[in-house]
Amino acid sequence: MSDTNWWFFDLAAVIAVTGALTFGIISGITGVGRTVLAIPLVLVLPGYALVSALFPDKPNDDYQSFDTEKTGLGSPLLVSGGLKAIERMVLSVVFSVALVPAITLFAAITPGGVTLEPVLIGLSMLTVILALLAIGSRYRCPADRRFVPSVASISPFFTQGRPSPYDRVNHRPYNVAIAAGLIMLLATGGFALASPPQHDGFTELSVETKNVTGDIDTMYDSTYAAGESQELTVTITNQEHETQRYTTAVLLQRVSAEGDSVVVHESTELDRTTATVSDGESTRQPLEITPTMRGSDLRLIVLLYEGDPPAEPTADNAYRVVRLPIEVE
């Protein structure tokens, strides 16, 4: 891989691997396979593309003396133009760890929020853009100074370079420490990807509304006729991290306001339905409303329970409650 005609090979591989990993994760792979696909995308590839864009030249292993006056007081020192392999790989991991939170922050302001798809797509797009910038940066670099990928150039460990009387460092302890650090990083990253923090479970309950125009007073049907059936549709969205069985009950109540509180004078149950909803899914439930009271001091109260409701459903013992003031003619 030292042929200068292949100077872009590693960056082309970054683009191809990023696309393949992204497709694999979005396609629905779960468990250990998903973690294995996500680790390089999160911990290596974005940072490697950024490092390649910032440092397109190769290390310079030529010895040069600072003793330009030939006084015999100077010492030959190693001058390095670009990054060594270990520096390139370490910075790749560091920059990747820094870029992922930035992408997550931008995802938080998108309509999708901080979920897998916005973060994954943003990270993949950033990696590809940085890789293309790195190809352009290397192309502008003189051919004799251009970094060309090789097996040694992507090694994260210290290697024994050209012998020098000034180099007496034993690299083995450093390589052992680097290996231990990489193992810990991969283990930590794998655990974080396999067991991401989850929000507390919750369930959403909403009433289907009609088109909002300037001619309506409420977003739902608020006028009923006594004794005539009318349908009220509610939507249940399960975000409890597991499949749930729900019971929905709708009550018709006659109420009055006394100070800061509402007093219920009469209450009757109009309908009750059950539904089993998978995690992350929604279901629509039609409720049959047949008012048995008349007046403008009435309200419908939709109660949602996990499992079976108690013998007397009320707003105080329900999991979710929706109150809808209505008028029955």
- Per residue in 262-295, pLDDT tens? 888 899 999 999 999 998 889 999 999 999 899 9
Q: Which amino acid is at 49?
A: A
- Say if residue 284 is exposed, middle or buried (CB neighbours under 10 Å; 0-12, 13-18, 19+): exposed
The pair of structure tokens assigned to 259 is 């100070």
Top pLDDT among 61 and 41 is at: 41
pLDDT at 20 over 50: yes
Closest C-alpha to 299, from 282, 320, 274, 324: 324
Cα distances (Å, whole numbers) of residue 216 to 210, 233, 298? 10, 19, 19
Quote the distance between the C-alpha of residue 167 and its chain's center.
46
Read off the pTM. 0.51
- Per residue in 67-97, pLDDT tens? 555 555 555 554 455 677 777 887 888 888 8
Average pLDDT over residues 151-159: 54
Q: Which amino acid is at 92?
A: S
Q: Cα-flanking dihedrals φ and ψ of residue 320, to 5°?
A: -135, 145
Given a contact cutoff of 8 angstroms between Cβ atoms, the answer to whether 126 and 103 are in contact is yes
Average pLDDT over residues 138-160: 70
Cα distances (Å, whole numbers) of residue 139 to 6, 92, 129, 218? 11, 20, 15, 64
pLDDT band at 6 (very low <50, low <70, confident <90, very high): confident
SS (H, E, C) the chain: CCCHHHCCHHHHHHHHHHHHHHHHHHCCCCCHHHHHHHHHHHHCHHHHHHHHHHCCECCCCCEEECCCCCCCCCCEEECCCCCCHHHHHHHHHHHHHHHHHHHHHHHCCCCCCCCHHHHHHHHHHHHHHHHHHHHHHHHHCCCCCECCCCCHHHCCCCCCCCCCCCCCCCCHHHHHHHHHHHHHHHHHHHHHHHCCCCCCCEEEEEECCCCCCCCCCCCCCCEECCCCCEEEEEEEEEECCCCEEEEEEEEEEEEEEECCEEEEEEEEEEEEEEEEECCCCEEEEEEEECCCCCEEEEEEEEEEEECCCCCCCCCCCCCEEEEEEEEEC
Domains of the chain: 4-194 (no CATH), 202-328 (2.60.40.10)
The span from the first CA to the last CA of the chain, in angstroms, equals: 85
pLDDT (0 to 100) of residue 78:
47
pLDDT (0 to 100) of residue 69:
53
pLDDT band at 102 (very low <50, low <70, confident <90, very high): confident
How confident is the prediction for the chain on average, in pLDDT? 77
pLDDT (0 to 100) of residue 166:
45
pLDDT band at 117 (very low <50, low <70, confident <90, very high): confident
